[in-house]
Every structure is written in C-alpha cells, then in structure tokens.
Chains A and B, each alone.
Chain A
C-alpha cells in the first residue's frame, strides 16, 4: 500500500498554516463529525484505532482518555509541546506549518473527556511559534471552532498557549503540570496519575502534539483505516526526525513499516560520502544505541523495543565512524547534568559524578576501575528516581559501555582520545 502523508502533506506549501488553506483541505470537518457523536464514542474510536502516544512512552491514547475521572469537574487537556528530547524537532514543524490540525485535535480531545480548556505548553525556545499558534487560535475563535457553543453544539472550548522558560524536565508530564501551575518543573510522585489528579489537582490528559494531531485524522478516516496503516498495534502515520551525520536531515512521515535503513539511507540521503555508519540512536538521546547490523528493524514501537532499544520520540540520531563514543557519552551527560531538575538525589548528584568521570576518561586521565564506577553509579540512579529522567540519563553511559567498551579501554590505556586529535575540527559544518 502506497503511503500517503497526512500530518505533513501540505507543510511545504506557502500558506499551509492559514485557516483558509486548512478549510480548503477539509479542515475542522473532523470536529463537526466529532460533535455529532457522543464523547464516549470518540474515546472508543480512539481506543479502537490503537493510537499510541507520540511523545515517547507509546501509551495508548484512548486508554489515557478513558482513565480520566469523569466525575470531577473541571477537567483539562494539556498538550505537551515542550519537545525537549535531544534530536526531536517534529512538533516544531507541525505547530509552525499545520497549527490548525493541533487546535482541532485539542478541541476534539476536550470534547471527548469533557474538558472546557486546553493548554498548549510550548518550550521557551519556541517563542516564534507562540505568535503563530495564537494567531491560528484567534482565527479559529472567529469562525466559531473555539469559544462558547462551538458550532452551535452547546460545547464550550478554550485553547491557550503557555510558554515555558528553558527546562528539559518540563517534558515529563507531571513536571509540565507543575510548570503550568507556576512552579519549578519538577516531577510529582505517581500515583496519582494526571488522569485522576493532574492540572490544579483535577483530572487531566497530557498528550503530545503529534498524538493530538492524529485525532482529527482518526475521526475523519475511521479507526479501522488508521489501524491498517503500518504494523499491528503500531498504526497510523508517524513522524521521524533524522539528524546527525546524514546528508539530508529532516522530518519524514511514514508508516511504522518503514525500516531504519530506509529512513537513514532513503529519506535522509545516507551518511556523508566516504564515511560509514557506526551507530544509530533511534529515539532521542535517552534510548540505547542500535548497531549497523540492526538497520533492517522496522521503526515501530514494538520492533525497536524487540531490537533492544526504544522508539521514544522517533528522533533518529545517526553517527558515523568519526564519532568517539566516550565523547558522545560525555556530551550527553553534560546535557543530563545540566537538565537534572534536582529533586531526587541520585539523579542530581549522580549525573554530575558520571559527567566528571567521563570527562576524565575522554581527556585520557581515566583508570580501568572508573568503568566499574560508571556501572555502579548508573545502577544507583536507574529506577531510583521519581521520573524516568534517571533511567534516561544513565542510558548513554550504559549503552556505549556495552557496545564500545573497547573505546573506553583504549582511552584509558593510551591516555588520550583514540580518534585522530583533529577529527572534530575536520568535520564539515552545515554542509548538508
């Protein structure tokens, strides 16, 4: 079956972000269709479609909505547009070029769970998207797609944009809720989950941008059609972000039948001439590395998990043979050390320790016992924190140690980085 892009079909066209353009291409028809059904029917529809959350965990969206406690008012839809996982830039594209699809998804989501307000939480660095989204929201109000008595149905819906201020941790759903409540973006203890006590302690559904953008498509085309795109339990169109050492990095839409090889060599043009592929991070910096012999793995939630990694946010970072894996771990631990919210001691202190040890090894000042120390510290962080950040932060260390232990040992034995000293300086810059 030929794959037809739906989320990004028109993004290259000049006016794709305008309401007129969206309406010309069937925009808000799904909202009209949804309002003609009962809210429970929408939840059943999304459940039947098998839509899985596109933010990272891949949790079924319909179940998330079903879990929202319908006895308590008010309820909220919170759209997670924090998009902070290194390597991810798909929601950026959707909000910039197809904002009405997200607004329509928010409105249908509100109707389904009985919420009257949706907040779209964008990361602080997406300042330029705030104006774009707010203009689109104003246009939607003007045409009666939002506001009081949407399209004469008696359903009220307000959508607001809320801008964060620079915190990776705000991408974690309970930390995002804290941030939206005007506090530090630090995770909450779970349970209770947001479906029971979320924003302001009220039942809430926190959904990723791409997830909500799929909802109008499910309403328009039906659950069966959606489930039929891609492998079983991995249905629907998916956005992939390919970056790193490839000729044509970008966002590509495909079904989850697509393999990593097709994404890297086909869509993204392959690694640069004269270079060979060394490793692939298939789902953002928080997931284990896959090796070149695993490239024929379909890029679906289940297949990637079976291969020993996670699809995460579908941020595929491609690394060629010029990449020093100790340096890679050091670079990512610099990130995690900086972004650790500081709430849980193992993560706050441990990421700093890991970074310092990795820095020592990369400089050629490491000792063999440091490798055991890395393992031991990682074991004392993973699973011992309130949120998944701890597990995410130790992954770059554990995965590089697993696949590239020889590089660590070579650094220690030779007292220097074993790749040519000037390799990074020789990298072509911005030539893709």
Chain B
C-alpha cells in the first residue's frame, strides 16, 4: 500500500474499507455439496451460471463456517467467473462471513419497530451475559453477537435471529436462559416466532 502513512483509512464508514479474506486451508466442496451445487446450477440458463454465486457461497460457508480466499477461488472456478467477481459479491452482502464466527451467531434487530420495543436492552443483556460486544465472538467460539438491520418480523419485536434459520421474540430478562439453553441443547432451544407457533397457542413472547 502506498497510501499516506498517517491517514486513518480504516476509521471511516465505507464499504470499500475491506479486509482481505483469510487464505484458509485448501478448499473443495464435499461430494454432497458438489452434488447440491450441480443441482442448483441447473435452475439458471446454461450461459448464466454466475447466477448461482449466492447459493454456491452459502454452500461454502455452511461447509467451512466462513468464506476464505480458497473458497472464493473454488466457487469462481466452478462458475467460470473471476475471483474478483466472487469477492465483489462476498464483500457486499452482510450474510457472508470472512472471519470465523461462533457456533451460534446471534443477530439482534436494531431497526425502528424493534428499537421502540426495547432492542437496545436485549443487546445490553446479551452483552452482559456473553461478555462480548456486538461484532465480537467469545473466546470459546460458541457465540457471535451482531446488531443487524430490519429482519422483517416487526410484529414480533424485539426480534433476534440465531444463525440463519430462526427468529426469536426475545425479552432482556429471558436472555440468560436462552444462552444457557443454546449451550445445552443447541438449536433445539429455539422456539421460533412464527405464525405457526401462534396458531398452536404457544405465542412465544406475545400474549
């Protein structure tokens, strides 16, 4: 880098202030993921394989936990596009991790409807219970805490998404129990906050 030595280039808020991905260990899809990839590619016209880049990256992230430079090369080679094309996508979308994350990534929604319903207090409670700040992963690699923008479940505010599958209506006082349950039972501890749950009369967090 031949930039000015005293300029704090990383202190401003820019999507361009990226960090290079870890090289990581050598990467190739497992046979199962390769089969999934081959099936996904058929959804798009043969000359538009690039369309499969998001699902292809999800497969890589699911296999390895996060996206490395080697994973990017692998995906780029399979899709017939450049490494830069794939990196462009990885660095844009918020749901791809370029650093290792915990087993459970707790995403707390901080946008308006959740914010007026106490999302800040949920984040504070998670901070205290997990002893990490938003954006950090605990030493054991179990939890990552992230503040995110609107998750699209505003009727169940305050909303928390654990990994990428489940929504929770989480009250600050319920945080320690959720954390304990996640440790003990994994994703089975999550009740979801879906309309199905409401139908079954178990309105989680709502009443």
Q: Name A residues whose Cβ lies closer than 8 Å to a Cβ of B.
A: 11-14, 74, 83-89, 92-93, 96-97, 123-128, 158, 160, 162-168, 179-185, 200, 241-245, 249-251, 281, 285, 315, 317, 319, 323, 328, 331-332, 334-335, 337-339, 341-342, 352, 424-425, 427-432
A430 B48 Cβ-Cβ under 8 A: no
Nearest CB of chain A from residue B153's CB, rounded to whole Å: 6
Query: B112: which of A87, A162, A338, A427 is its contact (CB, 8 Å)?
Result: A87
Question: Is B53 part of the contact surface with A, judged by Cβ < 8 Å?
Answer: yes
Within 8 A of A (CB), among B14-42: 14-16
B149 A93 Cβ-Cβ under 8 A: no
In the docked arrangement, what's the CA distance between A14 and B15, Å?
Answer: 44
Nearest CB of chain B from residue A200's CB, rounded to whole Å: 6
A12 B111 Cβ-Cβ under 8 A: no
Query: A86: which of B89, B154, B169, B194 is its contact (CB, 8 Å)?
Result: B154
A13, A281, A428, A429 interface centre (most CB from chain B within 10 Å)? A429
Nearest CB of chain A from residue B185's CB, rounded to whole Å: 19
B199 A429 Cβ-Cβ under 8 A: no
Nearest CB of chain B from residue A375's CB, rounded to whole Å: 22
Please give, as numbers and ranges, the residues of chain B lying within 8 Å of A166 by CB-CB distance. Answer: 93-95, 148
Please give, as numbers and ranges, the residues of chain A lying within 8 Å of B198 by CB-CB distance. Answer: 12
Nearest CB of chain B from residue A175's CB, rounded to whole Å: 11
In the docked arrangement, what's the CA distance between A164 and B151, Å?
Answer: 13
A97 B118 Cβ-Cβ under 8 A: no
Q: List 7 A-B contacts (CB under 8 A).
A: A87-B154, A124-B93, A180-B51, A200-B48, A243-B155, A249-B157, A337-B13
B53 A84 Cβ-Cβ under 8 A: no
A86 B93 Cβ-Cβ under 8 A: no
Please give, as numbers and ranges, the residues of chain A lying within 8 Å of B206 by CB-CB distance. Answer: 430, 432
A14, A342, A427, A430 interface centre (most CB from chain B within 10 Å)? A430
B14, B45, B154 interface centre (most CB from chain A within 10 Å)? B154
Please give, as numbers and ranges, the residues of chain A lying within 8 Å of B164 by CB-CB distance. Answer: 124-125, 127
Query: A430: which of B16, B51, B148, B157 is its contact (CB, 8 Å)?
Result: B157
B145-174: CB near A (< 8 Å → 1, else 0) gives 000111111111110010011110111100
In the docked arrangement, what's the CA distance between A87 and B154, Å?
Answer: 6
Q: Which residue of A lies closest to B107 (CB)?
A: A125
B54-96: CB near A (< 8 Å → 1, else 0) gives 1101100000000000000000000101000100110011111
A182 B54 Cβ-Cβ under 8 A: yes
In the docked arrangement, what's the CA distance between A429 and B172, Å?
Answer: 8
In the docked arrangement, what's the CA distance between A93 and B167, Å?
Answer: 14
Nearest CB of chain B from residue A194's CB, rounded to whole Å: 16
Question: Is B131 part of the contact surface with A, judged by Cβ < 8 Å?
Answer: no
In the docked arrangement, what's the CA distance between A89 and B148, Å?
Answer: 16
User: Other than the known A123-B152, A125-B95, A430-B117, what 7 A-B pairs have Cβ atoms closer than 8 Å?
Assistant: A128-B165, A162-B54, A166-B148, A182-B50, A185-B92, A335-B111, A431-B207
A430 B152 Cβ-Cβ under 8 A: no
Please give, as numbers and ranges, the residues of chain A lying within 8 Å of B205 by CB-CB distance. Answer: 430
Within 8 A of A (CB), among B175-207: 192, 194-196, 198-200, 205-207
Question: Is B113 part of the contact surface with A, judged by Cβ < 8 Å?
Answer: yes
Please give, as numbers and ranges, the residues of chain B lying within 8 Å of A168 by CB-CB distance. Answer: 149-150
B150 A86 Cβ-Cβ under 8 A: yes
Nearest CB of chain A from residue B51's CB, rounded to whole Å: 5
B171 A96 Cβ-Cβ under 8 A: no
A182-B52, A429-B122, A430-B169 given; A92·B153 CB < 8 A: yes
Please give, as numbers and ranges, the residues of chain B lying within 8 Å of A13 by CB-CB distance. Answer: 199
In the docked arrangement, what's the CA distance between A342 and B150, Å?
Answer: 19
Nearest CB of chain A from residue B61's CB, rounded to whole Å: 9
Q: Which residue of A lies closest to B13 (CB)?
A: A352
A165-B95, A430-B118 given; A243·B113 CB < 8 A: yes
Q: Which residue of B lies closest to A425 (CB)?
A: B121
A167 B92 Cβ-Cβ under 8 A: yes
Q: What 9 pairs between A and B have smallest CB-CB spacing?
A: A429-B118, A165-B93, A182-B50, A166-B94, A243-B154, A166-B95, A182-B53, A243-B113, A249-B155
Nearest CB of chain A from residue B34's CB, rounded to whole Å: 19
In the docked arrangement, what's the CA distance between A380 and B170, Å?
Answer: 40
In the docked arrangement, what's the CA distance between A164 and B92, Å?
Answer: 11
Please give, as numbers and ranges, the residues of chain A lying within 8 Å of B152 by CB-CB distance. Answer: 83-84, 88-89, 92, 123, 125-126
Q: Which residue of A lies closest to B54 (CB)?
A: A165
In the docked arrangement, what's the CA distance between A432 and B156, Å?
Answer: 9
In the docked arrangement, what's the CA distance between A57 and B142, Å?
Answer: 43
Question: Is B115 part of the contact surface with A, judged by Cβ < 8 Å?
Answer: yes
A86-B111, A429-B121 given; A319·B116 CB < 8 A: yes
In the docked arrangement, what's the CA distance between A200 and B51, Å?
Answer: 10
Please give, as numbers and ranges, the residues of chain A lying within 8 Å of B81 by CB-CB distance. Answer: 182
B195 A125 Cβ-Cβ under 8 A: no
In the docked arrangement, what's the CA distance between A24 and B53, Å?
Answer: 39
Please give, as numbers and ranges, the residues of chain B lying within 8 Å of A84 by CB-CB distance. Answer: 150, 152
Please give, as numbers and ranges, the residues of chain B lying within 8 Å of A428 by CB-CB distance. Answer: 118
B15 A86 Cβ-Cβ under 8 A: no
A88 B112 Cβ-Cβ under 8 A: no
A124-B164, A165-B95 given; A323·B199 CB < 8 A: no
